[in-house]
Amino acid sequence: MKTTLFYFTGTGNSLQIANNLCEELGDCELIPIAKVFHKDFISVSTEKVGFIFPLHYYGLPKIVHDFLAKLEFNNTNYIFAIITRSGDIDGAALVQVEKILRNKSRTLSAGFFILMPNNFLLLPDDRSEEENNEIIKNSKMDIKKISESIKINQINTKIEFKEGKINFFERTNLKFHKNVYESDKYFFVEETCNSCAICESVCPVDNIILVEGRPQWLHKCQQCLACINFCPKESIQYRKETIGVKRYYHPETTVKDLINQKK
């Protein structure tokens, strides 16, 4: 049975999970959300549909929220979400997906979380590179298990859904959505910038242009942190909080993968 997998990624974690899952499932098409989210009308016609994306502020990345609200399903009878995250709090993401689907008279069949290395430099952790590699190794085993349950259309949501009720996590996430486009005003670039334009290339929403060789942010930011994590000179900072903080992107992910996300 064919599966369509929609993914969004800032630093490759969700992309690698999507790639691994696609391999496990076989007959599967990967579609980057960054490539289709701006269309007025988006529809999908496979029986199985999955969404793979990072947890942002206890909930959905804004781009994923806006995309899901637009998506129309035809012939789909099994819908799942896989959320990558660096901590262990579920937050509101699955409830948010369920809410959007209910508006379309659909429900979420299954939801999964996968622990991945942290790319959120504003809240750095102290995991070593070895620990991150171990986490990535374990994520591959997680995906094998998850794919088995997706193959047999297992129902697994474990969502405590209360109509109309907004919890602390959802409120926090909605506040993040409200301010996220403009949050890029806190990025700045240091003298060490060599005008390589990688920041411009990896930005999934084309929010960066180089002006006189220096990045400028255009206030439609998703705060995925691709720009700051992929900068080879570590010249991009977010306020002063990221100075001296170790950058991260998934070791199997390349700049080209990020460019392909929007092409």
CB count in 10 Å sphere of residue 193: 17
Alpha-carbon distance 126 to 71, whole Å?
38
Query: Contacts with ligand FMN: how many residues (CB under 6 A)?
Result: 23
CB nearer ligand FMN, residue 76 or residue 114: 114
Residue 237 in contact with ligand FMN, rule: CB under 6 A? no
Residue 112 in contact with ligand FMN, rule: CB under 6 A? no
Residue from 5, 44, 55, 63 in contact with ligand FMN (CB under 6 A): 55
Considering only residues 190 to 229 of the shown chain, the ones binding ligand FMN according to CB under 6 A are: 223-225
Residue 57 in contact with ligand FMN, rule: CB under 6 A? yes
CB count in 10 Å sphere of residue 233: 14
CB nearer ligand FMN, residue 84 or residue 147: 84
Residue from 4, 11, 207, 235 in contact with ligand FMN (CB under 6 A): 11
CB nearer ligand FMN, residue 183 or residue 195: 183
Cβ–Cβ < 8 Å for 203, 165: no
Residue 9 in contact with ligand FMN, rule: CB under 6 A? yes
Residue 86 in contact with ligand FMN, rule: CB under 6 A? yes
Cβ–Cβ < 8 Å for 172, 57: yes
DSSP string, 182-228: GGGGGEEE-TT-----HHHHH-TT--EEEETTEEEE-S------HHH
Could you tell me the smallest distance in angstroms from the CB atom of residue 75 to ligand FMN? Answer: 28
Q: Tell me the torsion sign for CA atoms 231, 217, 226, 38.
A: negative
Residue from 6, 37, 51, 58 in contact with ligand FMN (CB under 6 A): 58
Q: Tell me the torsion sign for CA atoms 173, 175, 178, 184.
A: negative
Per CB under 6 A, residues contacting ligand FMN are 9-14, 54-58, 84-87, 91, 116, 118-120, 223-225
